A and B are shown apart, each in its own frame.
Chain A
C-alpha cells in the first residue's frame, strides 16, 4: 500500500517570500502521479500542480514549482512570492493506477501567509 507523509503540520511565511512544503511517499510502483492540492476554508480541494513520475523535468505552474526526487521518493512544493490568498491547507497526494482508482493523501500542512 502506498503512503504519503507530510512532516510539517504547520508553516508560516512572510508575504512575498518563498516557502517550501515537504512530502515523501512510499511505493513499489515505477510509474505514478503526484499532486499538490490546496484546501482553503471553503473546503473545496483545488489542484495546484501535478507531476508524472516518468517525467524527469520538475513541473511548474506560475509561482508554484516542485522538486521531484524519484530515488528519494520526495516531492516538495515551492511557493514563490507568497500571497495572502495562498493561506490554506496543502495536501500532497499520490496516484498509481495499478488496479486502483483512488488518490492517497497526506495529512496536510497548514500554511499561513503573514502580511
Chain B
C-alpha cells in the first residue's frame, strides 16, 4: 500500500479484556516497529521486527504484551487483560531497510486504545 495502515483507529476496551492491534506496513518493508505514546508524552519503543524475526522486545512493559509478524509483513500487537495504564496511542512504523535510521521510517496514524 501507499502508507502504513493501522487498525482499528480507535479501540475502547473494558479492563481485563484482550485486544489485538493490527499494522499493515508498506509492502516490502523489512523493518517494523511498535511504539506506545501515552497522553502528553513522546513515543516509547516497544518492539522491533526484521522480516519475521523479533530482534528486540525490550520495551514491552509486561508479559501481557505480545507482538508477532509471522510472514514478515502484517504485524499484530496483542495486549492481554488490559489495564487502565495501557491507555495510549500505539504507533507502528516501517522501513525498507534494516538501517531504518538512514533511509527513514514511515509511521502509521496509530490506534488510540482507551481502557475503561
Residues of A within 8 A of B (CB): 4, 33, 42-47, 50, 91, 93, 95, 97, 100-108
A46 CB → nearest B CB, Å: 7
Known: A103-B45, A105-B44. A43 touches B56 (CB 8 A): no
A-B pair count, CB < 8 Å, reads 57
Residues of A within 8 A of B109 (CB): 42-44
Does A47 contact B105, Cβ atoms closer than 8 Å?
Answer: yes
> Do the beta carbons of A104 and B101 come within 8 Å of each other?
no
Q: Say yes or no: B101 contacts A45, CB within 8 Å.
A: no
- B56 contacts which chain A residues (CB < 8 A)? 100-102
Chain B residues touching A, range: 20 to 34
CA–CA, A95 and B101, complex, Å: 7
Residue in B43, B44, B93 with the greatest tally of chain A CB atoms within 10 Å: B43
Residues B104 and A46 in contact, CB atoms below 8 Å apart: no
- Interface 0/1 of B28-39, CB less than 8 Å to A: 000101010000
Asked whether, in the complex, the Cβ of B43 is within 8 Å of the Cβ of A45, the reply is yes
Whether the Cβ atoms of B42 and A43 lie closer than 8 Å is no
